[in-house]
Amino acid sequence: MTGIWQEMQSMLTQWSLSPDVKQKRYSSSRWRTKQVAVEEAISKIPHGSTLFTSNGHAYPQQLMEGLVKPDAGLVDIRIVQVINAMPVSYLKEFHNRFRVNTFFVDPFTRKYVNTGYGDYTPLTASDLSRLICEEKLRIDIAFIKVTPPDKNGMCSLGVAVDFAKDVVNHARLVIAEVSEAMPWTYGDSLISANQIDHWVVSEKPLLEFKCPFGNEIDDVMQQIGQHIAAEIEDGSTLRMGPHFIDHVVANFLADKKRLKLHAELFSMVAQRLMEVGAMDRAVVAHCLGDRELYDFVDRNPRVRVYPMSHIVNIENIRKHRRMVTIASAREIDLTGQACTDSKGHEFTGGFSGTWEFVQGSHLSEEGKSFIALPSLRNKGKESNIVASLSPGAGVTVNRANIHYVATEYGVAELYGRPIRERCLGLIEITHPRFRDTLLRQAKALHYVNPQQPGSSFRSRYPAEWETQWTLKSGKSVFVRPVKAIDEDSVRAFFHSLSDRSIYMRYFRPMRSLPQQLLQGSVDIDYSQNMTLVVLDTSQKRQEIIAMGQWVLDSQDGIPELAFQVSDAWQGQGLGKYLLQRLIQIAQVYQFEEMKAEVLADNLAMLAVLEESGYPTRYHNEFEIVTLHLAISSQEA
């Protein structure tokens, strides 16, 4: 392995150098002449310069402290930055001398940006890289933090390659803090010592990020994490970071195998998954953590650090099979527009690489993306799923690109669905207290049919009845309670049936399902009625191949059974399975009896009911047989 990595290192060294830099030979004596004191380094900066400072925990503390000292006397300095990892007093105290333009509104810059003492530029990560490389964003001075040069005169940008490498290649003057504490990282993290004009010795340790979440996770976040983790398969490539939702999801991934990370950040979340053997390798732009994490990534070939332009390149993202993007949002409207970077008119974050990763995940084979958020905010007074976004809220993920939305109440798949189904799916995972209100608003906005019952939103979706089942042929199918969004799928199932099958089920010829009957069969109150659908999951588009239901008769209080199997799937035991499953659910609801009305010549259905194993009594009238099953009997 040593020889391979030496060869790779040599290749990366060549890739890292521009043609004019490669012509210069590294000289240790020349390198030493570039060493200056902080004050001298600052004196090299002209008034009116635009200065880029390294990102996150590679923040060059000494250089920045020297920059803002009153005796430095600099004025009209424009500071370009992405994420700060420590307080920045110059934003307000020295706003007459410095103006900050940030591309991410972090906790240290939030109050200044939102009171007019700093600028926020909303840009995707790929667009920021492009602006730097095309020099449309002028950068006069670059402040970076690097390792000491090796014998070949190469320095590693360590934990923060992200935008720094591109900036070094385009800045007019590069000043570095050289830190013995900076990890040496593999990937594309190297720059030549010849590219550094001046450097100072870093006398401070790297900034550290301690996990703020602790070991306690409330029930809401735990449920969201479980919902998302259940959708992640072995061999998936993840986009996740240090955020709360990533921390929670990771708690449920320890048993996964062959996971990979392709993301902007490597954090303690990914470190933990690597240490337990769930994750094999990571390709990132920045490493964020404590000293333990820095020691973990130091010369670790499993963690490779690249420029952000490589990480957020959609073509690079889409190459991963099962690319899974996890992102959080502040609120989402009923059409699928998600806001992540603002709270109304107040800016609270940034675009980062969310847009690119959502796009790349869609293009990836078996890829998917999740927008996660709790259903409530403001101490439970407001819903995070709303009819319309708050005034001033920006759209980070638009309605055309959103895929899955997860709350503690489940996961709604929105991608490729019409507005009507999006509304119904999102209302289903909204807090119950706000479901009726959202349905009324959706009707007022003409997003859904004005006759939509909304029965399913008044009771809890019984996820415990979801299961896989194996047919006689050995094929696996997925069985779950029906949902309000299944309307079109049930209609397609109806039209897949033969005329005879339709007649046997409805006792008359029918060319279509009336809208009221269709809505009533999918939008049900789970506390009183139950409908199960059987899905063929072997195809990308899951189709209903069978349905079974019982509906409570309001006159006698007895649930009435009915089920139907697509002609092509008959003979696989689905009828018997649906009957037993529906009886099992009815027993949990503490019903003692069930009934079914069957045409006398529907011999197959009669045989299934008669072989149920429960005492049965019959009543035959006008060629319709009514069967009563005593499901509480111990004889079964």
Catalytic residues: 264
Which three-class secondary structure state does DSSP give residue 318? helix
Tell me the residue length of the chain. Answer: 636
> Contact at 8 Å (CB) between 16 and 190?
yes
Q: How many CB atoms lie within 10 A of CB 353?
A: 27
- Enumerate residues 6+ apart whose C-beta is below 8 A from 541: none
Tell me the three-class secondary structure of 263-284, residue by residue.
CCEECHHHHHHHHCCCEEEEEE
- The phi, psi pair for 266, rounded to 5°, reads -105, 120
Q: Looking at the DSSP assignment, which residues form a beta bridge with residue 147? A: none
Ranges assigned E (strand) in 72-162: 77-81, 98-102, 119-120, 141-146, 154-156
Ranges assigned E (strand) in 334-475: 338-339, 342-343, 346-347, 368-372, 376-377, 382-383, 385-386, 404-407, 410-413, 467-470
State both tokens at 570: 């008959």
Q: Is residue 331 within a helix (H) or strand (E), and if so which, with residue range?
A: strand 331-333
Which three-class secondary structure state does DSSP give residue 448? coil
What's the DSSP call for residue 58? G
- Enumerate residues 6+ apart whose C-beta is below 8 A from 108: 84, 85, 86, 87, 88
Distances (CA, A) of 467 to 122, 481, 534: 44, 10, 10
Bridge-based pairing of strands 543-552 and 559-565 is antiparallel
In 3D space, the residue among 577, 568, 528 whose CA is nearest the CA of residue 551 turns out to be 528
Ranges assigned E (strand) in 537-575: 543-552, 559-565
Residue 509: HSE in the Cβ half-sphere, 13 Å Cα cutoff: 2
